[in-house]
A = this chain, B = another copy of it.
């Protein structure tokens, strides 16, 4: 994810208009620093742009994905998440409380040898580890 200034330039370069809505959605995600649902983005953007529509948030999020500014992530919930961290990383999700943490590539390992890829040209991968976070393990011990 770029800076708001770079993003503005990127929009112009790609023929998109620079609108308050696009900047606000971009800023909300940049400020959050981690993946948010469309609804969460909407709530945050409303604080600076009360008239924005949820529909617009969805449209802008798709544009951000197309522009490579944001990555769509599915973590097993009803709603998708939009992640300003576009560098490769995995997620750690607590099955009980849904608490989620990012895992940098240095913390885990995934490998698919080309020979095992059945001729697929891999462009992307989603890795999610599900389990119990420390807090919920403690809570379970009480049961």
Contact = CB atoms under 8 A, between A and B. Distances in A.
A119 interface: yes
A132 B124 CA distance: 10
Interface in A95-141: 95, 101, 103, 107-113, 116-134, 137
Contacts of A108: 110-113, 116
B132 A123 contact: yes
A129 B111 CA distance: 10
A87 B103 CA distance: 24
A110 B95 CA distance: 19
A36 to B, nearest CB: 18
A124 B107 contact: no
A39 interface: no
A122 to B, nearest CB: 4
A40 interface: no
Contact of A127 (B94, B95, B110): B110
A112 B137 contact: no
Given A74-B76, A110-B108, A112-B107, A119 B95 contact: no
5 contacts: A108-B112, A119-B137, A120-B132, A120-B134, A124-B129
Interface of A: 74, 76, 90, 92, 94-95, 101, 103, 107-113, 116-134, 137
Given A103-B112, A110-B110, 8 more contacts: A92-B120, A108-B112, A109-B109, A118-B133, A120-B133, A123-B130, A125-B127, A125-B129
